[in-house]
Amino acid sequence: MKIYKLEVIRGLALQLWDELRATGNVTPEKVFREWEKRTMIDLTGNYGEHRAKEIYARCTHDEPFPTSATDQTGWLQQFFAEYQYFVDEERKALVAML
């Protein structure tokens, strides 16, 4: 279930990315906040509130979501790179427990 929720988070972030890439339009603050809220719900379900905040800060480099489309693209690219590293660590930990 833990990996499933991590993949849901990735899928939701990909929706932000796809819309931004396809249209070049800025992601509205409201849309981003909804993604952020859902991401925190799933992370909290996996790790508890304190650890979820740490993971989110790590994956976002504790940077706010930018207001320009170009900067949003870079922010999401950095998010995906760090998030993938985190997910890979989690998978290794789960495999080690088997």
| Domains of the chain by residue range | 2-97
User: Using DSSP, how many helices (H) and how many strands (E) does the chain show?
Assistant: 4, 0
77 neighbors 83 (Cβ within 8 angstroms): no
The encoded tokens of residue 98 equal: 């088997």
Q: Give the tens place of pLDDT for each residue, 14-70.
A: 999 999 999 999 999 999 999 999 999 999 999 999 999 999 999 999 999 999 999
- Taking alpha carbons only, the member of 5, 21, 2, 10 closest to residue 59 is 10
The encoded tokens of residue 75 equal: 């922010």
49 exposure class (CB count in 10 Å sphere: 0-12, 13-18, 19+): exposed
